[in-house]
Structure 1
């Protein structure tokens, strides 16, 4: 009996302990769930509280990305535009140089044809002149068809002509002027003086389809001959009026770096385009005309050291050194000792060759020379002026007579 009682007591104690553990476990679980729920609720409340700031931050991030993308787009567009502009300018310059060379060759061929006539084939001569003519030149030839045919038929022998050299001037008014020096047995066929061995002509060339034709001709009068039309001094020739065709891409919201890069590229492109352009040809011709005028002008009472230095500043190479040492004797030997007075006027100038650092210019000069106590004598010169670029400026390096090549 006593054994059974102790056993039942032990069982009762174990059952009480088990119930107590169960109750404690349930309490801990409930507390854990409450803490979890509180944490979830706190997290939710934190997200709700932070939502406006997160949204604002997200909007700022998206705005920054859009701004960066717009700036990158502007940079790409500006770079592409600058590259296209540069390519266009270079293509224009190459085309212009090609056109100038074609005009020069066509002018030389046309003058040769106009100076070459066979009395037996007078009709063929007139037809040949008409084939290379247009505008005023063609109208004039057509009106004088009968007289011209009779004049050619009256020559005792075939006439010949040879172009010694030709140089292109800057285009003006849709025509390309070409200065031509030719040796001719009958220079009167192109308006020259009968009996003269050499003639200088300005030929206005114009493109007609794929050909270059003679629009008009004008003899360059020298040695005091009366001009057939008002003649402009070289210094009165119009400045280059090259009209530059541009297309500009404007985009609002540009990054400073993109705009800066675009400006740098555009300025660089403009600098590259200057080489070989009409403006560069005009600048070379003006520099040659000024240097030749100063070189061939002299008066005994003005041959001071400062003037020699001023003239030498327009020259380069051996010519500059020679002029510093001998002054006008470089051009006219004995000028200083004979107290000769010289004045020169450049009638016209045309660029025949042009590169980055060298140019060849055809110069026509009317010079008056007076020996002390004597009468003035007028001389006509046609000269090749070789120009070299030095320190960014064109300078005269050599002056030599025009001769057949």
Structure 2
């Protein structure tokens, strides 16, 4: 009986040890599963979410920058076409009796090398010819369109109808088109090129 009792105790001890091993094994697996969940949560919380937040912020910033840049180009397009229309009329219109004042006022709409060549042409040829022959011109711009535009530089195609009157003669009309190049100087669009097309 003592042997049976010892066998029973040995069996109970072995069973308890086996249960402890299984319990420890299950606790280890449970602890590993819990640790795995915590590691995954940490990766998501400290890695994926911040990366997504930064990505969204960068994307939103790029979209805003593109919108602002496009808005500046759209504004430049509208403003440069209006400036080209007004400048073309001012540059090509004058009356014989006020030619010097008319063309001097037009210089205020011009910049760069074109200002120098325009001033030279007006002073040497146009003003003396208009006074001597009683020449007056009236320009009208029926249409104008933007060819290209940036925030500070633009090219505009301008269609011009011009009526020329000489003292003692019937008026004559011509139609032409011009490629007007403009640069933004300060807050104003000024003509830097004026080429027939």
Same fold by TM-score greater than 0.5: yes
Q: Is this contact kept in 1: 2:84–2:182, CA < 8 A?
A: yes
Matches within 5 A, 1:184-203: 184-186=162-164, 196-203=173-180
1:180 to 158, 166, 173: 158
- In the TM superposition, what are the counterparts of 1:152-231 in structure 2 within 5 Å? 152-171=130-149, 175-186=153-164, 196-220=173-197
User: Could you tell me how far 1:201 is from its partner in structure 2?
Assistant: 0.7
SS in 1 for 2:136: coil
SS at match of 1:117: coil
User: In the TM superposition, what whole-angstrom CA distance separates every residue of 1:136-184 from its partner, at most 9, and x where no partner exists?
Assistant: 2212123334213323333525321111100111248x73111111111
1:177–1:202 CA contact under 8 A, matched in 2: yes
Per the alignment, residue 140 of structure 1 pairs with 117
**Distance in 2 between residues matched to 1:108 and 1:166, nearest whole Å:** 7
Is this contact kept in 2: 1:178–1:203, CA < 8 A? yes
Q: What is the aligned counterpart of 1:60 among 31, 36, 42?
A: 36
2: distance between equivalents of 1:183 and 1:89? 39
**Residues 249-328 of structure 1 aligned to structure 2 (within 5 Å):** none
1:51–1:154 Cα change, 3 Å: farther
Q: Residues 106 and 213 of structure 1 are in contact (CA less than 8 Å); yes or no, is this contact kept in structure 2?
A: yes
Looking at both structures, which has the greater relative contact order when contacts are Cα pairs under 8 Å and sequence separation is at least 6?
Answer: 2
1:95 is matched with 72
Go from structure 1 to structure 2 and tell me whether the alpha carbon gap of 1:144 and 1:114 turns closer, same or farther (over 3 Å shift). same
Q: For the Cα contact (< 8 Å) 2:161–2:175, is it kept in 1?
A: yes
Aligned to 1:131: 108
Rounded to whole Å, the distance in 1 between the matches of 2:52 and 2:74 is 33
Q: Deviations over 1:96-125 (max 9, x none)?
A: 112101000000000011121122223312
CA distance in 1: counterparts of 2:108 and 2:41, whole angstroms: 67
CA distance in 1, matches of 2:121, 2:135: 21
Unmatched runs of 5 consecutive residues or more in structure 2: 1-15, 166-171
CA RMSD, Structure 1 to Structure 2 (Å):
2.9
Distance change in 2, residues 1:56/1:154 (3 Å): farther
Q: What SS class does the counterpart of residue 157 from structure 2 fall into?
A: strand
Separation (CA, whole Å) in 2 of partners of 1:58 and 1:127: 86
After superposition, give the CA deviation of every residue in 1:322-347 in whole Å (9 maximum; x if it has no partner).
xxxxxxxxxxxxxxxxxxxxxxxxxx
Find the aligned partners of 2:92 and 2:122 in 1 and give their Cα distance: 16
Cα distance in structure 2, aligned partners of 1:208 and 1:152: 31
CA contact (8 A) 1:122 1:150 kept: no
Greater fraction helix = 2
Distance 2:120 2:34 in 1: 85
- State the structure with more CA Rg: 1
Q: TM-score, normalised by structure 2?
A: 0.72
Find the residue that maps to 1:101 and give its secondary structure.
helix
**TM-score (structure 1 length as normaliser):** 0.37
